[in-house]
Chain A
């Protein structure tokens, strides 16, 4: 499974756009990129998933360049409630799929 590297922490202010970049140089052809969010005392929650180019949902956007060796999670106009740990994961979507989490990025949104 491909290893991922992401910043340990980031600070932002309410209303700003936050971009968290994840490196995955050894991504395989059949690997997808998935991001999870985790609040204190809760389990991780799926945010977004993509294979290439750009994916957008009601929560975030995911940008994946052509070489797929990195990806960027974009959170538009963050609020205090977006303070959480964000995990980037890479792996295949087959019947034996299991998620391998790194240490994640701790995002702190300030008023």
Chain B
């Protein structure tokens, strides 16, 4: 498909478990973003990649959250020792980034994480 793809669309896990969420951005987009959205709230910035490197990870809530983008395309958000408060929709977005940046981010449909 031509859009941002996120898997899984839904993930139910137990407190304390490890979770990985995957994002496949639009081909050619160098910038990739992770956001988290709780019910009734706007998306909350987590981390931004430009290419393979994390250019801004100031939004990661604590060291249980980690994200990688080893080849500058697909990214994985990793959450260790999940807590009930981690339950949310995790959104991924991509954009052209760099000098071609128009400010338009293209979002996926999100991965809904439920921690029991």
Give residues in A with beta carbon < 8 Å to B.
32, 34, 41-46, 49, 85, 87, 91, 93-104
A93 touches B109 (CB 8 A): no
Interface residues of B in 70-116 (CB under 8 A from A): 91, 93, 95, 97-99, 101-110
Query: When chains A and B are docked, how far (Å) is the Cα of A85 from the Cα of B41?
Result: 10
**Residues on B with beta carbons closer than 8 Å to the beta carbon of A95:** 50, 97-99, 101
Given the interface pairs A95-B98, A98-B56, the reply to whether A44 lies near B45 with Cβ below 8 Å is no
> Per a CB cutoff under 8 Å, which of A94, A96, A101 touches B42?
A101
23 A-B contacts, Cβ less than 8 Å apart?
A34-B103, A42-B107, A43-B4, A43-B107, A44-B105, A44-B107, A46-B106, A49-B102, A91-B103, A93-B101, A95-B50, A95-B97, A95-B98, A97-B31, A97-B95, A98-B33, A98-B56, A101-B35, A101-B43, A101-B45, A103-B40, A103-B42, A104-B42
Q: How far is the CA of A20 from the CA of B42 in the complex (A)?
A: 17
10 new A-B contacts, CB < 8 A, other than A41-B110, A43-B4, A43-B109, are A43-B93, A85-B42, A91-B103, A93-B103, A95-B98, A96-B56, A98-B56, A100-B45, A101-B43, A103-B41
Q: Decide: B108 and A43 in contact? CB cutoff 8 A.
A: yes
Q: How large is the interface on B (under 10, 10 to 19, 20 to 34, 35 or more residues)?
A: 20 to 34
B44 within 8 A of A: yes
Please, which residue of chain A has its CB at the minimum distance from the CB of B42?
Answer: A101
- Which residues of B have CB within 8 Å of A42? 107, 109-110
Q: Does B12 contact A (CB under 8 A)?
A: no
CB distance from A43 to the nearest CB of B (A): 3
B103 with A98: CB separation less than 8 A:
no
Q: What separation, in Å, do the CA atoms of A85 and B44 have in the docked complex?
A: 15
In the complex, the 5 A-B pairs of residues with the closest C-beta atoms, listed nearest first:
A43-B107, A101-B42, A93-B103, A46-B104, A101-B43
Q: Which of B26-84 contact A (CB under 8 A)?
A: 31, 33, 35, 40-45, 48, 50, 55-56
B110: chain A residues within 8 A (beta carbon): 41-43
The smallest beta-carbon distance between B54 and chain A, in angstroms, is 12
